[in-house]
Each structure stands twice: as C-alpha cells, then as structure tokens.
Structure 1
Amino acid sequence: MKKHLTIAGIGIVVLVLAFFTWQHFTQTPSQPHVIQDTKSNIAGNYLGSDYKGNYVWGGAMNLAWNELNENILKEKLQLNTDDKIALEMASKLNNAPFSKSDLDEESYYIKSGYGQSTVDEINRESKKKFPSKSFGDLEMNLAPRDIISYAYFLKEVEYETKFEKDTALFNGQKVKGFIADNKAQRENVKIIKYENDDKFIIKLQLKDKSDELILAKGYDMKNPQDIVNEINTNNKQYLSTIGESDRFKAPKLHLDHHRDYVELINKYLANKGFETYFIAQMFENIKFDMDEKGARVENEAVIVKTESAMMEPEKPKNFILDKPYWVVMKRADSQNPYFILGVNNVELMEVE
C-alpha cells in the first residue's frame, strides 16, 4: 500500500516596517489546491523563487525539512529519482547553512510526527506559544501513518524612529515610499559600505538590536550569496549614521507570494523503511510589508553614540533606493539570513 509524506511548515515574520509569513502544509482532498510553478532559483546556497521578476527566499522550509530529517528519518532525506533538478534541490535542503540555530527560540515552533494526532498537537501548541498567530488551524485528515513536518516562524521588529511618507522613484516610475527627514530619522540609517550613490549597503536601525534589516543597492541581483558574503565582510559592530546633508529614500514594499516546490512533489523517498512514501505536497506562502512605520511590539532600546572629530564637509551621499536592490534580514549574531528579497521592479510597490 502506498503512503504519502507531507512536508509542512508555517513561518511568519511580522514587521510594521515589514511583515512576512511563511506557510507550508499539505492539502487533503477536502482542501483543493492548484499547484503553481514559481520558477525555482537554485543558484548558490538558497532555494529562492521568482515572484513577478523579483527574487524571494525565506528560511522556514529549511526548518521543516531539517525537522523531518532529524526526528523522523534519522538521516538526510534521499529521493528515488533520476531527476537532476529534484536531486540538486534535495541536496541543497539537506546541506543548507540556515537552521534554527540562526534564530532565537522564542521566534519559532517546529514539530513533526504521524497522523491526525500530530496535526491536533500542532494546532494547539503553536497557538499557545504564539497567541497572535494570524494563521488558522490546519484542517487536515491524515491517516495514522501519514507524516507531517511543520515549522512556524514569527518575527516582529521596529525602527527606532518612524520615517516620513513621501513619493519615491523606482526605475523611473513614481511609487509610494518614505524618507529620513530629520536628525532622529537619519540616525536610523547606518552605513555598512558606500562606494557611490549607485552602490552601497545600509542597515536600518531597529529597537531590538538582536535583529538586522539591511538594504543593498548596485550589486548582482542574480546571486544572493554574493550580497550575503559582502554584508558579512563589512558589517561591523560600530557603524556611522548618514550625515545631515545625506539623503535616504526607499519605496514601500508589499509581497504576497505562494510557492509550490513542484520539482519535489510526487517524488518517492529512497530512505530505508520509507520507500513507499512520497512527497504529497510541499509549498509556502510569504508575505512581506515594508513601510515607514514601526512594529506592533514595543521594546526598550539603548542608543550608543560616539563623539566625532571635526572634519571638512563631505560631498552629500544619496542613499536612494531607486534601482534594483536587496533586502536581507538576519540575527545580529548570525551570518545566515532568515529572509532575502531581491527587488527588481515595481510589482512589489504601489504605483502613484
């Protein structure tokens, strides 16, 4: 008798400057689901996907996959297929640099197991740990030997100071955005690296210093690993803020993305004892919102300022995100991001 393997994970990151959700779970026949091919990008260490010409990667699927390997299979998942793309994707998931060690324990819930009792436990336990979770209960009817692996991820951060709304330009089109218009707002913007107005990396200061929100313009938009390496090389403990004559402006972003891992669906396992299992469904939803506002959760912050020596006035720098750029979110004590977004066009923006 054939049995099926369900890989499930919900990951949510919520920011009022940015709001993300990751959701992976199998649909039962009572929950019809139309599979969509979202053009996986398997370059580098990240299994990103395409959303209307923009690159999207979230770390929740890695959590669900690792949980399946560690708790159920007791080894790395192996596929019974000659499909080279499926094998490469499984290899990248098996050897991904991102894991739950790159997160704080308070921000995730992970569970795997067999049958409907596991689904019921997931619904009960995830809601208890995260009362504000926006996803409803999983509605599934799993057979006793069906397998589910599930991960839920919630992250809330906020700017130290709210920015001002303003009109921005991106690729020559007017879109809604926000700017740093006063001293306190400019102190939100830390310079990681500046080469010129068309190539720079900045960090938006958050109240909770344990998370980082980084923006990078002018770098290769086809290889997220390159920008991650560049950030890790240059992201120092003490960074200067933009100056009084410098300008910062960014578009508001909104992403609501569904992804099916079509390359892996219906593939059978080759692991001993699990040869009759196949991946029935494997998908995720990612939502991300970034604007001028702060987050829903208040956190006490400590601001450290250093005294600077008197210098000759510098030419004003423009940190204007008007061309393709990267959005990277990570823990301050980790080199591995939990979210990467490559912004290439206005599909994520509100055109005026």
Structure 2
Amino acid sequence: MATREHAGSMDAREYSVSSSRLGDAFSVRAFFHKELPFAVPLQRIDSGVVFGGQRVTAFGMAYMDHHLTDRMQILYYKDDHEFVLRLVPEAANEELLLARGLAPAPDLNGLLRQLNALIAKGRQEAAKPAAQWKFGWTQYDFLAIPDIAFNITAHYTGLEGQRFFAGAGPFRVSEAWQRTAFVLNERGAIVESEATVTTAVDSVAAPGMQPHPKRFVFDKPFVVVLRHNEKRPPYFVLHVQHPELMKPFK
C-alpha cells in the first residue's frame, strides 16, 4: 500500500489508473510495468547457491569482468555476511540495490531505514585509506544472486465488505485484489503490479580488517530495492526470505 514516504517514487508515464462504472457499481484499476535490463548480462553461477536449505539457480560474477564492475558498486561492506551493492541497469538514472545482513524489522520501511543508514556509513568509511579495499572489485571477489521469478495474486479480505459513503449513498467494497510479478536474473529486472478495487451499492447500511577476497553471496535473507536514484523513494521493495520465489537447481 502506498504511503507518503513513497510519494514521487514513479513518474506519471510509468503507471496508469483507470475507472469504470456499471450502473451503481464502479471499479478502479491501477497498473504498473517496469523493465530494467542490464547493459551487459551478468554471468551464470554454474553451481547455484543454497538458500534456506535448497539449492537454487543463480547469477553474478564468478570471474573478473570490467564491463560488469563498471556498473556495479559496493556501497557498504562489513564482512561477507553484511553488505550493500548497487547495480546500474542500462538506464543510468535507475538503480537496483541489494542488501544482505539487515536486522529483522516490523515492516519494509524499517528495512529501508537500515539500508540508508548503511549506505551513509559506507560513504564515511570509503574516505578512509585503510578501508578503501572494501569498496573496489578485485579478481578474487565473487558475487552470486539467486534467480527470482514470481507472479502472486492476493485478495485483501480485510477491505472486502467494508462500507463507506460517497456521493449518492453508501457503498461496499465487493472485491479488492493485487497482483505482483517480479523477475530478476542475469539479464536484468522486470516488475509489474496491478491492483483493482470494485465497489457496489450497499444494500445494508570492531578492530580494523585486513584486505581479503570478498564473497557477496546472497544465500541468506536479503532485500531488493528498485528506485530512480538515491534522492527519490523506491518504487519497488522486496524482502527475500524463502526459496519459494527462486528457481530450483537441476
């Protein structure tokens, strides 16, 4: 559900809102579709990764490729268990953030606050000569991201049946649902969302680390964020916690 914190996250041309009326009933539909292809496809990870006890397919960077690292930035690195990466797709004004190691939070806004705090901390650390090795890619570093693909429809039964007054008289929400689809692989990301609300007339009223190879393996819960740039709110946030959203390794 949109909040004021997410106002301005999308341009008007990126989504559509339409309404229709049949007799005393009316329906409102919102639709959003966005494709973020990578300028250079990332590499397939032949062995995949194990996430939640299940081996799933993955992509990333198994060997050094400057065409890839030119469009990948390490925003924060504490260790191989806590880090934030920025992937720049073909459209340079867009960005895809990946964060692993965030503490549990009651909602996505709590995760976003942690993410932004780590990015700010990373900026401070990057200015220190002794820590600069954390923010550059080397031939020994490794990146593995699980493939994600899902298309989920949810009915908001808590809204269905709710009554409200508008214009001619009392109305009742007869149907409220949302479909969200997301794909993330070596070629880029695609996100699509559709929501419909239909109403009817109501008949009843630590110490410094030494430089070492870095392993950016997303084999534990992580967060995916899509946004235009760091000065605008994200238009898509996903907290990946279970392998059900991934592709089994065969």
- TM-score normalised to the size of structure 1? 0.55
Aligned to 1:176: 57
Aligned to 2:203: none
Question: Closer, same or farther in 2 for the Cα pair 1:253/1:272, shift >3 Å?
Answer: closer
1:150 positional shift: 2.2
Q: Number of residue pairs matched?
A: 214
Aligned to 1:214: 97
Aligned to 1:97: 5
Distance in structure 1 (CA, Å) of the matches to 2:163 and 2:168:
9
Distance in structure 2 (CA, Å) of the matches to 1:323 and 1:106:
35
Aligned to 2:31: 152
Question: Closer, same or farther in 2 for the Cα pair 1:111/1:247, shift >3 Å?
Answer: same
1:251 aligns with 2:159: no
Matches within 5 A, 1:96-245: 96-99=4-7, 101-112=8-19, 115=21, 142-143=22-23, 145-166=24-45, 167-180=48-61, 181-183=63-65, 184-222=67-105, 223-235=107-119, 240-245=135-140
State the secondary structure of the residue aligned to 2:213: coil
Spell out, residue by residue over 1:258-307, the C-alpha distance to the aligned partner (whole angstroms, 9 max, x if none). Answer: 111111111001x45365111111101111111111479xxxxxxxxxxx
Aligned to 2:241: 344
Higher strand share: 2
- Contact 2:102/2:115 (8 A) holds in 1: no
Unaligned runs of at least 5 residues, structure 1 = 1-46, 48-61, 63-94, 116-141, 297-312
Distance in structure 1 (CA, Å) of the matches to 2:212 and 2:188:
31
Q: Which one-letter code corresponds to 2:141 in the other structure?
A: D
Matches within 5 A, 1:46-85: 47=1, 62=2
State the secondary structure of the residue aligned to 1:277: strand
Matches within 5 A, 1:313-324: 314-324=211-221
Unaligned runs of at least 5 residues, structure 2 = 127-134, 191-209
Spell out, residue by residue over 1:181-224, the C-alpha distance to the aligned partner (whole angstroms, 9 max, x if none). Answer: 33222333211211111111111121212222111111134432
- Contact 2:80/2:215 (8 A) holds in 1: yes
Distance in structure 2 (CA, Å) of the matches to 1:348 and 1:272:
40
Question: Closer, same or farther in 2 for the Cα pair 1:235/1:206, shift >3 Å?
Answer: farther
State the secondary structure of the residue aligned to 1:157: strand
Distance in structure 1 (CA, Å) of the matches to 2:113 and 2:59:
28
1:321 positional shift: 0.4
CA RMSD of aligned residues (A): 2.6
Distance in structure 2 (CA, Å) of the matches to 1:274 and 1:318:
62
Q: Which one-letter code corresponds to 1:154 in the other structure?
A: H
- TM-score normalised to the size of structure 2? 0.75
Question: Closer, same or farther in 2 for the Cα pair 1:96/1:264, shift >3 Å?
Answer: farther
Distance in structure 1 (CA, Å) of the matches to 2:226 and 2:233:
9
Question: Closer, same or farther in 2 for the Cα pair 1:351/1:342, shift >3 Å?
Answer: same
